Amino acid sequence: MSTTWWALSVAILGCYAAKIAGQSVPQRFLTTPIVHEVSDALPIALLMALVAVQTFAVGQLLVIDARLAGLAAAVVALMLRAPFLVVVVVAAAVAGGMRALGWAT
C-alpha cells in the first residue's frame, strides 16, 4: 500500500474517531473551558495558516505570484457575500487571466 493510501486511511479513521467520541464519551471530558476555547480557535488558526501557505509557498520558498491576485479577488467576493463556488471560480479566473495576459507567473 502506498504512503498516500496509508495517510488516507489513518486520516479517515482519526476524523471518524472524533465524531464517534463526541457521541459516546461522558459530557464532562470535553466540557472544560480550556478545551472548549482551544477547539474554537483551532479551525481559525489552521485554516488561516493554510490560506497563507497555499498563497505564498512553493515548497519551502516564499514567492508572490498570480495566486495572491486570486486570493485578493476571493476576499472581495466574500465581502460581497458571494457563495462558495463563486469565490473559488473568481479566484481561479483572476489568477489564470493574469497568467494568460503575462502580468504574473
Partner 1 sequence: MSSGPGTAEAHWHVERRAILVNALGVGLATGAYGVSFGAISVTGGLTVLQTQLLSVLMFTGGSQFAFVGVLAAGGGAVSAVATSVLLGFRNAFYGLTMAPILRVTGLQRAVAAQITIDESTAMAVGRSVEHDDGHAARLAFWSTGLSVFVLWNLATLAGALGASALGDPRVWGLDAAIPAGFIALVWPRLRDRRSWAIGLSAAVVALALTPLLRPGVPVLLTSVVAVVAGVLAVRRRAEAA
Size of the residue set binding partner 1 (CB under 8 A): 78
Q: Which of 1, 64, 83, 103 is in the footprint of partner 1 by CB under 8 A?
A: 83
Q: Is 80 in the site for partner 1 (CB under 8 A)?
A: no
Residue 72 is placed in which grid cell? 485578493
Shortest Å, Cβ 17 to partner 1: 8
DSSP H helices in 1-105? 3-24, 33-56, 66-79, 84-100
**Contact in structure between 97 and 91 (CB atoms under 8 Å):** no
Q: Is 41 in the site for partner 1 (CB under 8 A)?
A: yes
Per-residue contact track with partner 1, 43 to 62, x per CB under 8 A? xxxxxxxxxxxxxxx-xxxx
